[in-house]
Each structure stands twice: as structure tokens, then as C-alpha cells.
Amino acid sequence: MFVWKDLLLFWRDRKGLVLLLLMPFLMILILGFAMKGLMEGSPEALRMKAALVVEDDEASGIERFRTELRRRSLPEAAESALAASAEQASPYTLLKRMMENEEVGKFVEFVPMDAETAHTALESGEVKAVLTVPPEFTYKALVGMLLGEDGGAALRLTAGESPVHVDVLQGMLNGFVRSLNFRTALGEYGRPDAEPALAAGGVESMTDAKPMNSFLYFTLAMSVMFVLFVAGTTAAKAFAELRGRVFDRVLLADRHPLRFLGGKAGAAFCVAWLQLTLLFVLSHLAFGLFPGRPFSFWLGLSAINAVLSIGVGGFAALLTALNFRFRSSTASSMFSSIAVTVMALAGGSFTPASLLPDWVMQIGVWTPNGLAISLYTLWIQGFAAVDMAPSLLKLAAFAVLTLTAGIYLFPARRRVA
Amino acid sequence: MIAVFLAQWQKEKRSPYAILLFIALGIMLTIVFGMGAAKKMSYAVYAGDGLEAPQAAEWVRLLNREGKFEFRLIEEERALRDVREGRAELAVKLMAEDYRIVMAADNPANREVEELVRTVYNEELQLRAAAASADDPQQYLEDVERRLRQPPLALEIEAADGGEPVRNDMSLQLLFAFTLYTVIMTVGYKVNAVMEERSSGVWDRMILSPLRKTEIYLGHMGYSFCIGMTHIAVALALFRYVFGFPIGDRYGMLLVVAAIYTIALVAVGMLLTGLTRTPEQFGIVLQIAAAAMPLLGGAYWPPGTVTNPIILAVSEFVPLTHAMEAMKGIALQQYGPAELAAPLAKLLLIAVLCMGVGINMVERRSH
Amino acid sequence: MLETTELVKRFKGTYAVQGVSLYLDKGESVGLLGPNGAGKSTTISMISSLIKPTSGDVLLYGNSVVKNPAAIRKVLGVVPQEIALYEELTAYENLKFFGRIYKLKGKELELRIQEVLDMVGLRERQKELVRTYSGGMKRRINIAAALLHEPEIVIMDEPTVGIDPQSRNHILDTVRLLNREKGTTVLYTSHYMEEVEQLCSRMYIMDHGKVIASGSKQELKRILTGEDILHLQLDGPGAGMAGELRMLDAVLQVEETENGLKLIVAKQSRILSQVVQIAERHQVEILRVHVHTPSLEDVFLHLTGRTLRD
């Protein structure tokens, strides 16, 4: 009866509903799109063009190196071996091979340009960076690689204004330079037949689930954050009833005041559960989050929703009690403005918890939203219930604690004279 | 005008908590995230398949020697639990001559870590193999060491103007982002006084008094401006002198940007006043707008992260985008008046547009 | 000194006020009566220059207020229906602010603040936050804020809505004091008939955006002067005698009620003795007779078809 009335009040408050449903959805949309590249590291999002300015002539560089070899009058065999190596290990050829590599091609398209065009293209943002192969590159590099002499050559990367892209490019080029230098240091280019043993390496996935894409992550993150607002809103509405003397009527009707509190917690639970479920369904429809999942998967999701919603109900009770005790809505508005932000932060609603400093993460483990994100993550990736038990228990304990505190603090014995 | 200003100030004196809380929130966010961003990403590694502790420690040393990430050796169970529950992207399982990257689900975003681990492992294994087959391993290792010190190939990086490339300092960027974000709230709630007075009727009383309308508006906007400026000035001063963030020596320049940004925020506030009907509605819309602004402007991520053309276009209309550019330019890139002209002009344009449209709508809304 | 000519205000196609003409003489106290939504507040807003009329004009000493709002704003004090105060400031701070925006300063301002506080009887509690005041006290400060600049004309929009009797009496006293001792012209809006009867010499009754009647209390009551209403409480069924009663010339209408009959009769028709005779003839005893002279409320009901509190 109390719950029904409170639900009606929620339904009538369209602005509140917008805040609770539309705003998180909007945030999922914006953040999902904005963070797509960063979170997925997918080539599509990071794809870029880079200008390639070649100021060196490879063939004449090699020719010059040969001339240099002849000038040094090395033994015949050594000279021809080095000349052959120069042909095979010409750094520009190796660089081109790297650029034509399929993996690299997914991220970067190198467009040959002259220096001036490249500069203009960089300014306009058409290319994210310019890679310059300076004059004498081949010759100097070969001298360093094969003759082991000082000096050497340098590739020049001119960075545009997008560090994200430049970082990717720089990573690739550094890898190239490093491997060439390392092999030189091992002396491999002197004896081209070496075949080193390599680590097998590789990635082990605990499940065969797909990695979370940005939309899925933010659906979880925003849902568990905005569900917290339900608690604050409920308590604020409860306080309005105190101010509007509706609460006095409840007392006059000789209803136990705790039933009023129970109504609040119950209503908060229902609204929270509906909100979570609607957000998941909505996001699923919009972004195709859970393709082809069986009904039992959805059942599990909504069970987690329910546990989290009980926690929200507990919060609502606690805040209502505080509002009534202090006869002001400060507690609930502080909760909505400050506490929710802090919990969202620590619990990993703004950025994946794995990116947070360790000590923040340790706090986050104890926030209801943080716990819920863990639970959803486990469930979505198909882990067993055993793995979920600790988080589930913590979340349930949380609900019991807030509810008890709410009942204890609620000025229940207050009677009208 | 002064009377309007003073009345607001009297209210503030009685409950200055809102602005203090918002300043504190900005500082807290900066400390949590800004300091985190300055640190290297850290990943857990664990010894698998009976790898002896000294060997594991040696691999960790080699991995950390790269300096790019921080690798921490922890027990297997905790490492795996963190991965399972989404608190860690991955863990590295170390083996004698091999490794595995363990993830909850295969995620290409972690390619960089894998690349680094692979390089370290392969180089070490190659080196060991080559040394083992050398006539004098000791001598060989020394030779390799020497040759590595004079690499034949290098990669030079420069900025477009030929100078040092600008390193984007994420912690500084976040400092500005959170300060500029929280001040939206501060200014917004001050401008909301206009709406509150309109709904309480105080506004009509002022209209009926000999006060000119411009005086009423200026009183309110001037006050919001002063509070917003105070917020930014205090926050930046605290960051610089108390927390020691390197925001540069051009504090005055930063304040100029802050002033123009605050004007733009006041104007945006007026626009919201024109668009909404009640103070509560204003509050809700403000929260949405304030939260969305840094996101649209990509303030929380390295520049270039946001590539969606629609979001980029929208971000041009967000004051925070331009203030951010100007402040970062001042702190990191020695921006002078010439470079600041564009972002500041855009801010002023936004200010003029929003103010014009906003006040117009407010006036049309009257009765 | 103040008059309106055919004021019309249209909001998005619906007429809130359609052709209201009224006047206020200097030193007069005039009531504006009407149910909710009659257009009283809109009329007041137009008089006080807060909103521009769609057509018509407001004249202050013959000069158009619509063209030159500044003229009326100087001499006008408006007490709005809502509590237009800063709840988070004290009464004193509120009055200081409202005095300042009327360009009062220094000693004069101080003096006026204490004076109006005396008038509304809240001098003792001026240092308390308005938020902590009772509804009635808020209303009194709401009035005080409009009196600081000693306006010649005071317009009050429902100043006694929803408050305790003590505050209400205080407010009525304040209005009387203003009007009778200070010679302030008062336009008083209310839907409490008895307040207007007590305070005002003249009144306008508005409904559906129009003035439907105006004049002094007596003049208005005369609208219903033609008839009296007679309630008969009987000890038995009155149906029998009803027919005979209808035959009487002075009886205009007979109606059966729960415990008797209701007659509408011509005024001063000396009909009572005839009624008694008829009753005796039908062996019905008249337990009670109640003659009812129409009140202003009845006039109102008669004119608008609804009561003031509808």
C-alpha cells in the first residue's frame, strides 16, 4: 500500500524519471562513442594516415657503402659478405617491409609525399605524423650496422597534435628501430644464417567471452551510478511528505511509522530494479550488447539487479531516516551530489577500475556500485557462481547494514500530541 | 546593482558550503586521477609452472627495466581474481622461458603490454642462445652490451614546428579538466539565483523598484562571475602552492583565461535559465550539462582520443574545450597572446551568443 | 488618481482579462473580489506595470503607465501573493535589501526599516531568518517590504491566504492604519468577503476576466434587493400546503426541502401571517422560520453562479 503510493509519486514526477532513465542513457551514448577507440584499441578507431617523406636514395646509398667497403681493402670474402648483407639488410627495405606488414597496415597508411606537402597535411590534420627518411640514411645506417662504427642514422618522426595516434606510430617505429639495433648488437647481420629460439608467448583467455566494448562497460558503469540517485530522490520525496504533513496523517492513522520507512525502501527497490532492467534492455536494443544470450542469462542479470536494488533500498531507508532525524533534506542532497560522485569514482563508474590507483581501487571494492560492476562482469564473462559469491555476500551485507541503520535512526517513536 | 550583489553575498556568507564543496571535489578528483595518471600503469605478474622465485624476480627486473609499465609480482590467486572481477585488465604468467598474458576476455587494447613482454622475452632468450653458442660467452655478452650502447639506428621525434615535441602531461590536463568542470557547478548554482528569485517573486519586486533591468542582471551575473573566479583562483593557487603541481609561472595569464571562461559559463547559465522553467529543472539540466561538457570536449583523455566527427563538432560549442586548450597552452606550450587569441575569441563568441539568446528568452518568458 | 481603461490581456489565444475598467481615488480603499482564476492577479500585474496589456491602458494622473512605467513604480508598493523574500536571510537583511533597491540609504533606511517593522509588529524578531518564521510572520514581512519607500498606492494580492487569525488581524490592522492614518490608497484583493467588507469602501467583483459588478457594499447588496428567502422547518410533509402557497401573489417560488419548504418571496410582502394560516389549515406545525436577507456572498453566487472559494 505504501509502496504503491510511492511508486505512483515516482511515476508522476516526469522530470525525475528523465533524470533517472534518459540521462544515464545519454551518458552511455556519449561516453560509448567517445571512448570507443581508447577502450577497444581497435584498428578502426585508431586508423590514421601518416606521411612518408623519403629524402634518401636507397640504391645510391648501398652503392656508396660498397665503394666504402672497397676503399677499406678488406679481405675478399668479408667484403662480398658485407656487400650481400647490405643488400639484404638495407634498413630502408626493412622499414618498407615493416610498413607493408598486414598488422601495421590495419593502423597506419603511409602516404608518400614531399616535405612541403607533408607539412601542410600535418597542419590540416589530414595526416597525424610525418615520417622522414633523411638524406644519407641508408649509407650511415649501413656503416653503423655492418661496420660497427659510431654515428649511425636516425629516422625523424614529426608529431601532429594527436598524442594517441602519435603514440601508436611511435610504438611501431620504436619496435622496428629496437629490433634492428638489437640484431646488430647480437652481430646477426654479419652472419645472416642465425635462427634464434623464441618464446611462444601468447594470450590466455579465462573465458571465450568477447572483451567488453565501451558501450557495455558504460552501460554497467552508468547504470550502477544512476541507480544510486534513486536512494537520494526517494529520501528527498519522503522529506517532502514530512514537510507536507502527510507523514503526520500516517501517524494519525495509527500506522506504525516503520511501515512508512518500509514503503520508502520498497519503492526505492522497485524503482531501482526497474531502472536497471530498463537501462540494460534499452542499451541492448540500441547497441546490441548481448547478442544471442539465452533467457537464463537475462534472468541472472536481473537477479544481480535485484541484489543491487536491495542495497539501494537500504540506502533510501538510511537517508530517509537521516532526513527525518535532522528535519532537513541535507542528508539526501549531500548524498546525491557528493557521495554518489565519490562512490562512482572509486567504484569504477567513470573509468574502468583497472585504471584507478591501487588505493582508490581498494576503497572501490567496498562500494555497492563497484561490487555490482564486478558481479555483472563475472556474469557476462560466464564465470561460475562460486566466483561471484564473495561480491554477492558483500553487497547483501551492505543492504542489511544500511537498512538496519535506517531503522535504528528513524525517529519511529515520534507521536503527534 | 550593488544591492543585488550584496544580497547574494549575504546568502553566501550564511552558507558557503556549496562552493567549498565544489572546490574540494575538484581537488579530490585531481588528486585521485591526476596523480594516478602521472604514474605508470601497473600490471600484476605471477610465477607459474613452478618457476623459482629468483628467476621470477629476474624476469620482473627485466620487464621493469623497460620503464614503460610497472610490473608487480603478486600471488597467483589474487592476480587471477582481480582479472576475473574486472579490477585488472590482465595478469602476466611468468614461466622459465615463456609467458602468458591472462585476460578475462581477449582484448586487443592490451596489445601494448603483450608487445613489451614479448620483446623482453625474445631479446633475452635470443641473447642467452647466442651467448651459449659463442666461443667465449662472457666476451660475447660484453660485446653485445657495447654494441647496444652505440645503436646504428635511432628515431628522432619533433613537433611540427621543429621544436621539442610537447609531452601531454595528463595529470596537468586532468587538473584543469576537474577545475573547469567543478566551476561549472559553482557558477551554475549561482546563476540559478535568477530563477529562484523569479519563482519566489523577488524578481518582480526588483522590476517594480527604480532599479534598471540591466542593474539586476549585472548584479546577478557580476556576483556569479566573482564566485566563479574565486573558485578557479583558489583552486589553482592551492594546486600550485600547496600541492606543488607544475602549472607554470604564468598564473596571471591563467586567470585571464579563467575570467573569460567564467564569463562564458555565466552566459551558458543564462541560456539554461531561458530554457528551463523552475530552479529544480535548472538544477537537473545543469547537472547534465556540466557532466557532459568535459566528456564532449574530451577533457579526460589524451588529445585525439575522441574521433567521432559529431562529438568533435559539438565540442566546439562547449566553453570547456577552449578554456582547456588555452590553459594547457599556457602551462605546457608557452602560448602567447597570438596563440591564445583563437580559443579566447571562441569563448567570447559563445558568451555573447548564449547571453544574448538567454536573456532574450528569460525576458520573453516573463509573464 | 489611477484608472484603467478597457484592459485586455490575452495569453496564447485565451483571454485572462477582457475589458476591465476601474478607478482608484486618492485615499480610497478599494477591494477587488473574485474566485481563483477570475483575472485579479493579471489585472494587478498590468496596473503595476509588470506586464503589458494586450490593449487598453492604465492611467496615473492621466498619464499612461504602459508608456512610462517608471512613473507608477515610484509611487506604488506591491504586496505579491507569494512570499517574495530571501528565506535564507533575516527579516532585517531582507528589508535592507528591498530598501536599497528603492535607493534608500543610511539613517533614513534604518529609520524606515524600524518603522515598517513596528507596523507589522515584528521588530523584536527582525534578526531571525525568514525561513524560520511562521507563515503569518512571513506574510507580514512580505507586506513590510512593500512599504519601505512610503508608496502612495499599495496593491495587495491576497495578503491573508492561509495564515493564523492573529497574523491575519495584524495584517488587517496594518491595512487600516495605512489607509486611515497615512492616507495611503489601497487596492485589496481577496476572496475573503468579510475582509473586503471590513476594509474597503468600494469594491469590484471580477469573474472570467470581466468586472461583473462594482460599487459600495450597499449598492452591491441592492442587486438582490427584490427578494427574501424564507426557510420553513415543518413537523410533517409540506407537499400538501405547497400548492396553496403557490397561489399567493407574493410567493415567487416554492421548493420542497428535507425538513420543510423553501420560499422565494417578494421583499417586504408581509406574507408570514398568511403562511401560518395555510399551515394551520393543513395541520402542519411550523417549527422554525428563517428569513434570510441576501449577503454579499449571495450576490456573488447570484452573479457568478459559484462561491468565492471555488
Average pLDDT for residues C89-97, to the nearest whole number? 93
Name which of C101, C143, C161 to mutate to probe chain B: the one with the most chain B Cβ atoms within 10 A of its Cβ.
Answer: C101
Are C84 and B201 within 8 A, CB to CB?
Answer: yes
Which of C78, C82, C102 faces B200 most closely, judged by CB atoms?
A: C82
What's the gap in Å between the CA of C74 and the closest CA on chain B? 7
Q: In the predicted model, what is the mean pLDDT of residues A156-184?
A: 85
What number of other Cβ atoms are within 10 A of residue A163's Cβ? 21
Q: Are residues A20 and A155 in the same domain?
A: no
Q: Which domain holds residue A89?
A: 42-190
Mean pLDDT is lowest, of A21-30, A71-80, A250-259, C195-204, for A250-259
Task: Examine the domain organization and report whether A181 and A226 are in the same domain.
Answer: no
Of B115, B149, B183, the position where a domain reaches its end is: B149
Q: Over the stretch A391-408, which tens digit does the pLDDT of each residue have?
A: 899 999 999 999 999 988
Q: Does pLDDT of A247 surpass 80?
A: no
| Per-residue model confidence (pLDDT) at position A1 | 65
Shortest Cα–Cα distance, A314 to chain B (Å) = 24
pLDDT at A417 over 50: no
The yes-or-no verdict on residue A280 having pLDDT over 80 is yes
Q: Over 80: is that where the pLDDT of B261 sits?
A: yes
Same domain, A86 and A27: no
Residues A155, A131: contact at Cβ < 8 Å?
A: yes
Q: Are residues B305 and B359 in the same domain?
A: yes
The pLDDT of residue C165 is 84
* Band of residue A81 on the pLDDT scale cut at 50, 70, 90: confident
Q: Which residues of B234-260 are buried (b: 16+ CB within 10 A; e: fewer)?
A: bbbebbbeeeebebbeebebbbebbbb
Place A166 in a pLDDT band, splitting at 50, 70 and 90.
confident
CA distance B202 to C130: 14
Cβ atoms < 10 Å from Cβ of B159? 14
Rounded Cα distance, B167 and B181, in Å: 23
Does residue A364 lie within any of the structural domains? Answer: yes
- The full 3-state SS of A355-385, as one line of letters, equals HCCHHHHHHHCCCHHHHHHHHHHHHHCCCCH
Query: Does residue A50 fall inside a structural domain?
Result: yes
Chains C and A lie in contact, requiring 3 or more CB pairs less than 8 Å apart: no
Confidence of residue A43 (pLDDT cuts 50, 70, 90): low
Tell me the pLDDT tens digit for each residue of A196-240: 556 667 777 777 677 777 888 889 999 999 899 888 888 888 887
Is residue A203 one of the residues assigned to a domain? no
**Partner residue opposite B202 with nearest CB, options C50, C81, C86:** C86
For the record, the C-alpha cell of C53 comes out as 496589456
Q: Is residue B184 part of a domain?
A: yes
Q: What is the pLDDT of residue B187?
A: 94
Same domain, yes or no: A324 and A398: yes
CA of B264, closest CA in chain C: separation in Å?
Answer: 27
Contacts of B6 in chain C (CB under 8 A): 97, 100
- Residue from B305, B308, B321 whose CB has the most chain A CBs within 10 Å, to mutate: B305
Average pLDDT over chain B reads 86
Q: What is the pLDDT of residue C212?
A: 86
Are B32 and B47 in the same domain?
no
Task: Among A89-98, B160-169, C131-140, name the one with the lowest average pLDDT.
Answer: B160-169
Residue of higher predicted confidence among C241 and B183: B183
A378/B84 touch (CB, cutoff 8 Å), yes or no: yes
* CA dist., res. A349 & res. A224, Å (int): 8
How many structural domains are present in chain A? 2
pLDDT of residue A315: 92
Burial label, B363 (beta-carbon count in 10 A; 0-12, 13-18, 19+): exposed
Range of the domain at B135: 42-149
Alpha-carbon distances, residue A214 vs A211, B81, B170, C208 (angstroms) = 10, 22, 21, 59
Is the same domain home to B218 and B295?
yes
Which one is predicted more confidently, A23 or C253? Answer: A23
pLDDT at site B118: 87
- Is A198 contained in some domain? no
Whether the CB of A64 is below 8 Å from some CB of chain B: the reply is no
**B97 & B199 share domain:** no
Structural domains of chain C, ranges and CATH numbers in brackets: 2-222 (3.40.50.300), 226-293 (3.30.70.920)
Confirm whether B319 is domain-assigned: yes
Q: What is the pLDDT of residues C250-309, one digit of tens each?
A: 777 777 777 888 777 777 667 788 888 888 888 888 888 888 766 677 677 667 666 655
* Interface check B150 vs C, CB under 8 A: no
In the numeric block, the cell 530571501 is attached to C86
CB distance C88–B15 less than 8 Å? yes
Chains in touch with A (≥3 Cβ pairs < 8 A): B
> To the nearest whole number, what is the mean pLDDT of chain A?
82
pLDDT given at position A192: 45
Report pLDDT for B218: 94
Query: Is the pLDDT assigned to residue C134 strictly greater than 90?
Result: no
Residues B274 and B349 in one domain: yes
Q: Looking at the partner chain, which of C45, C85, C93 has a beta carbon nearest the beta carbon of B10?
A: C93
pLDDT at position A188? 67
Is A182 inside a domain boundary?
Answer: yes
Rounded to the nearest angstrom, the minimum Cα separation between B14 and chain C is 8
pLDDT of residue C116: 93
Cβ proximity of B318 and B297 under 8 Å: yes
**For residue A197, is it within any domain?**
no
pLDDT at A415: 45
Mean confidence (pLDDT) of chain C: 85
**What would the mean pLDDT of B234-251 be, rounded to a whole number?**
88
Note whether A234 and A334 are same-domain residues.
Answer: yes
Which residue among A33, A153, A383 places its CB closest to the CB of B84?
A383
Residue B155 resides in a domain: no
N residues, chain B: 367
- For residue B266, CA distances in Å to A341, B147, B194, B217, C148 come to 24, 62, 11, 11, 32
The per-residue pLDDT for A311 is 93
- Please state which of the ranges B86-90, B108-112, B313-317, C185-189 shows the lowest mean pLDDT: B108-112
In the predicted model, what is the mean pLDDT of residues B258-287? 88
Output A238-242 pairs: Cβ under 8 A, ≥24 positions apart.
Answer: A238/A264, A238/A320, A238/A323, A238/A324, A239/A320, A239/A323, A239/A324, A239/A328, A239/A329, A239/A332, A242/A323, A242/A324, A242/A327
Write out pLDDT tens, residues B77-133: 888 888 887 778 889 999 888 888 888 766 666 777 888 888 888 888 888 888 888
Residue B214 lies in a domain: yes
First to last CA, chain A: 26
What percent of chain A clears pLDDT 70, i.e. is strictly above it? 91
**Is A205 in contact with B292 (Cβ distance < 8 A)?**
no
The yes-or-no verdict on residue A20 having pLDDT over 80 is: no
**Inside any domain, residue B162:** no
Query: Out of A126-130, B90-94, B163-167, C110-114, which region has the weakest mean confidence (pLDDT)?
Result: B163-167
The band of A416, judged by pLDDT with boundaries at 50, 70 and 90, is very low
The residue-averaged pLDDT of C100-128 equals: 92
- Asked whether residue A17 falls in the same domain as residue A136, the answer is no
- Which of A98-107, A191-200, C2-11, C24-33 is least confident? A191-200
Last-in-domain residue among A162, A190, A218: A190
Please check whether residues B23 and B55 belong to one and the same domain: no
* CA–CA separation, B57 and B54 (whole Å): 5
Angstrom distance (rounded) from CA B121 to CA B115 = 10
Checking if the pLDDT of A414 tops 60, the result is no
Does a structural domain hold residue A195?
no
pLDDT band at C235 (very low <50, low <70, confident <90, very high): confident
Q: Is the pTM of this model over 0.80?
A: no
Pair B231, B211 in one domain? yes
Domain edge (last residue) among A137, A158, A190: A190
For the cut 80, the answer to whether the pLDDT of residue A156 exceeds it is: yes
ipTM for the predicted complex:
0.76
Dist CA B239 CA B247 (whole Å): 8
| Total tally of structural domains belonging to chain B | 2
Residue A330 has pLDDT above 90, yes or no: no
